Structure formats: C-alpha cells, structure tokens
Amino acid sequence: MRPHLHGDLPSEQFAGSLLKLGEGRLDMNQKDVINVSEIATLVNSVEELIEKGFLSLNSNFTDHDWLRERAIMAPKNIAVNSLNDRLVNMLPGSEQNYKSTDSVIEDAKIVNYSIEFLNSLEPTGVTPHCLRLKVGAPIMLLRNLSPPKVCNGTRLVVKKFMRNVLKATIIFACGKDEDVFIPRIPLISSNMPFEFRRLQFPIRLSFAMSIHNSQGQTLKVAGLH
C-alpha cells in the first residue's frame, strides 16, 4: 500500500500508522491481535462494509473516476464472488449472463469428468463459468491481450454486450478512457490433476477483488473483508 501525502496532518498520521503496522509496533491486545482502529473505520457487517465502500452506488457508478478509486478486498475468491454478486445486483439495468464452454484437453480422460463438474470448477486465475454482468459494471482483466494497455490487472467498465465480444472502457492507468474489445478466449489451467480448458471472457467483476489481485491498484477507498 502506498499512501499519498497531501501536506496535511491526517495523511501524515496515517502514513506513520502504516509504518508502525508493517514494523509490528502497533498496540496488541492480550490475544496478540493488532488494533487497527487508528488506521481504519471498523464495521459490524458486510452490508455496512458495502455501504461505506460504495455509498450511493446507483447515482455514482457512471463516474469512472469515482468507480476506479474504490474496491473491497478479501483473501478468498468465495468472499470476492459473494461481494461482487451483491454489488452487481445493486446496479440499475438488465443483466447479461455469459456461460463458458468447458472441456478436458486429454481425450482419454473426457469420460471421467461430467460437464456439470467442469462448470463448477474455478481454478486460480480462471474466470467463473457464469459471468453476471451489467452495463456500467467494473471488471478486471485476467490475461494479457494487448500490453501495455489491455493486460492482466487492467480495470475497465462494461459498455456494450455482444455474443462473443465485450466492449469496455479502460478506467485505470495506461489507456484510460479508451474503448477496447474483449473476446472470448480459451483459458487453460494446469493447476489441477488434469488439464482443463474454459472458453470464456478473461475477466472478473472488480467491485471486490482478491488481495493478490489488488496489488498495483491505487485506491482512495479500500474496504477489507
């Protein structure tokens, strides 16, 4: 995390607290748990976390700068997916579902794995079987398509749906505000007992993201689940 100082006392105090956290100098309670209340606002529920992170989402989601500056981070994909499902439901407009085509690469092993089983898989770095999208929803690329603008970690906003292509607007870093086209591509995972291929758009919703995927992002409002 890289704090940006603006010459004001709160920013300086925040940066100092981050250094203390990294060096293990923040106060700990009797259970050796660090008290982070001085560097964060603590909430009591997922609903409150969403409200703090995406206040007035319906009226602000069309502002790409506002959307780019905030995200909720979680350590596991199951929490990330749950948060993204909740937030995409809050957006106005109709929903578009894209389902992947899944297969086993080795012909000899095809009979061992049903389509339903393959659809349920979500290996690290592979997009979900079913993508639930709406126009205006933030997404993140999971593959390099056309570096340096359209690459792994680039955040965009969905602009138009087509059968095998998505039109999206870059909202982060290089290429900001440019429209690009994202095709369905084969995503192959070897991080399993068998080689698995999924034909799908190489994206995820990015209201929430894994802590690993958040590296390199610049956020003004960062929630932590």
Together in a domain, 159 and 186: yes
Q: What is the pLDDT of residue 125?
A: 80
Which among 32, 39, 35 has a CA at the least distance from the CA of 15? 39
Contact (Cβ atoms closer than 8 angstroms) between residue 163 and residue 130: no
Mean pLDDT, the chain, integer: 88
Together in a domain, 150 and 60: yes
Together in a domain, 13 and 124: no
Q: What is the pLDDT of residue 34?
A: 67
Together in a domain, 22 and 74: no
Digit-coded pLDDT (tens) for 79-88: 999 999 999 9
Question: Given a cut of 90, is residue 36 above it in pLDDT?
Answer: no
- Kindly indicate the confidence band of residue 140, based on its pLDDT and cuts at 50, 70 and 90: very high
Number of domains in the chain: 2
Together in a domain, 156 and 181: yes
Together in a domain, 191 and 213: yes
How many helices (H) and strands (E) in the chain?
6, 13
Together in a domain, 68 and 137: yes
- The CA radius of gyration of the chain, in Å to the nearest whole number, is 20
Domain span at residue 141 reads: 41-224
Rounded to whole angstroms, how far apart are CA atoms 74 and 86?
Answer: 14
Angle at 46 between CA 43 and CA 49, to 5 degrees: 50
Integer angstrom CA distances of residue 133 from 94, 136, 205: 9, 9, 8
Longest C-alpha distance within the chain, in Å? Answer: 65
Integer angstrom CA distances of residue 117 from 121, 155, 196: 7, 30, 11
Q: How many CB atoms lie within 10 A of CB 38?
A: 13
Exposure of 64 in the CB half-sphere (CA atoms within 13 A): 17
- Output 9 or 211, whichever has higher pLDDT: 211
Together in a domain, 73 and 138: yes
Question: Given a cut of 70, is residue 4 above it in pLDDT?
Answer: no
Question: Given a cut of 60, is residue 5 above it in pLDDT?
Answer: no
| Strands 179-183, 185-189: pairing kind | unpaired
Question: Given a cut of 60, is residue 3 above it in pLDDT?
Answer: no
Together in a domain, 30 and 60: no
> Out of 1-5, 95-99, 158-162, 190-194, which region has the weakest mean confidence (pLDDT)?
1-5
Together in a domain, 24 and 54: no
Q: What is the pLDDT of residue 159?
A: 97
Structure tokens at 5: 């100082």
- % of residues, the chain, pLDDT over 70: 90
Together in a domain, 109 and 18: no
Together in a domain, 66 and 110: yes
Q: What is the mean pLDDT of residues 26-54?
A: 80
